[in-house]
């Protein structure tokens, strides 16, 4: 939206038109009529510019209202948009109340100062909304990476692309905080996310679970027991025991009891205690005690079932498909 350029052109036109329109002499009545018509034309153009600003704010407000970015972020952005709409309303009043060229020119000069700050706010609001959307997309991509890895796929290139997108996201968030973010930063973030998305598409073509398999994705704070013939990925903080130990395909540990990635495959009995994310394909049973959430398909051709628990919960997957 290049409204700032339009406003400057309009202000210059008014400044140039005013002296000529105010000339006295023969034909003064016609000159006054002409001046009045030109004045109304400029005033109408100024009002259209303000209305364009207001409609832009309303469109952004509707996008925020319809987006899935969380109530806290949504309320914060909507409050900023409401403040911006109030300032645009002040612009409208100044133009509406102008009775002649001089008043309109003075009003536009005042608005120009207000517009410089307002346009910055508009950009930052739009960027913030975009960044929150990208943050959600990166979270979904990370979930996909876990899901693909739990199925035995090589996700190293995918995770590298996600890391690059996450680094770009953090850089933009920092610049949003001090108001120095530029469009080039936003474009770079978008490209990094698209690169990660392209990697996910490659893996999606390889991800072909059997229809007789089920899938479960769960977060548990407490304890769990996973048994059956499965391919699974476990991440979190706590202690985990795998029987037989030969079922471990990959085990990455961080500091203390942090499990960055534990991949198991085959007929297993896995128990754990702590805070964990569990993704499993195959035929098995997951029993959880404590608090958490889950998403699962008993069979791959069924719809996902979602829920939470605050005591204990057992999921059977891959049976009877």
Whether residues 264 and 203 share a domain: the answer is: no
Whether residues 202 and 229 share a domain: the answer is: no
> Which residues does residue 236 pair with via DSSP β-bridges, in sequence order?
259, 276
Q: What is the pLDDT of residue 28?
A: 52
Whether residues 274 and 142 share a domain: the answer is: no
| Domains of the chain: total | 2
Q: What is the pLDDT of residue 99?
A: 83
Q: What is the pLDDT of residue 43?
A: 80
Q: What is the pLDDT of residue 107?
A: 76
Q: What is the pLDDT of residue 17?
A: 46
Whether residues 155 and 23 share a domain: the answer is: yes
Start-to-end Cα distance in the chain: 54
For the full predicted model, state whether its pTM sits above 0.85: no
- Considering only CA atoms, which of 240, 277, 279 is closest in space to residue 257? 240
Using the 3D structure, point to which of 191, 208, 225 is the last residue of a domain: 208
- Write the DSSP assignment of 28-54 as a string of letters: HHHHHHHHHHHHHHHHHHHHHHHHHHH
Q: What is the pLDDT of residue 19?
A: 45
pLDDT < 50 positions in the chain: 1, 6, 8-27, 31
Whether residues 193 and 254 share a domain: the answer is: no
SS3 state at 79: helix
Domain that holds residue 220: 214-317
């Amino acid at each position: 939206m290049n409204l700032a350029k339009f406003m400057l052109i309009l202000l210059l036109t008014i400044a140039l038109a005013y002296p000529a329109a105010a000339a006295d002499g023969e034909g003064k009545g016609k000159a006054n009529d002409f001046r009045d018509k030109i004045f109304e034309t400029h005033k109408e153009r100024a009002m259209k510019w303000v209305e364009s600003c207001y409609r832009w704010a309303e469109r952004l407000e509707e996008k925020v209202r319809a987006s899935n970015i969380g109530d806290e972020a949504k309320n914060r952005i909507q409050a900023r948009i409401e403040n911006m709409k109030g300032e645009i309303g002040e612009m409208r009043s100044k133009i509406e109340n102008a009775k002649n060229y001089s008043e309109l020119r003075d009003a536009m000069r005042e608005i120009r100062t207000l517009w410089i700050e307002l346009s910055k706010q508009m950009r930052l609001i739009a960027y913030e909304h975009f960044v929150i959307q990208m943050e959600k997309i990166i979270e979904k991509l990370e979930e996909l990476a876990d899901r693909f890895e739990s199925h035995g796929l090589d996700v190293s290139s995918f995770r590298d692309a996600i890391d690059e997108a996450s680094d770009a996201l953090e850089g933009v968030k920092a610049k949003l905080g001090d108001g120095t973010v530029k469009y080039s930063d936003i474009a770079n973030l978008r490209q990094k996310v698209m690169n990660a998305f392209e990697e996910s598409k490659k893996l999606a073509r390889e991800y072909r679970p059997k229809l007789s398999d089920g899938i479960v994705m769960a977060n548990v704070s407490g304890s769990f027991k996973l048994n059956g013939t499965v391919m699974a990925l476990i991440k979190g903080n706590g202690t985990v025991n795998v029987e037989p130990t030969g079922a471990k395909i990959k085990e990455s540990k961080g500091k203390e009891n942090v499990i960055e990635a534990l991949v198991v495959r085959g007929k297993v009995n896995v128990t754990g205690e702590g805070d964990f994310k569990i993704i499993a394909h195959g035929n098995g049973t997951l029993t959880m005690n404590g608090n958490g959430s889950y998403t699962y398909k008993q069979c791959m051709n069924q719809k996902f079932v979602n829920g939470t628990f605050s005591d204990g919960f057992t999921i059977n997957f891959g049976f009877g498909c």
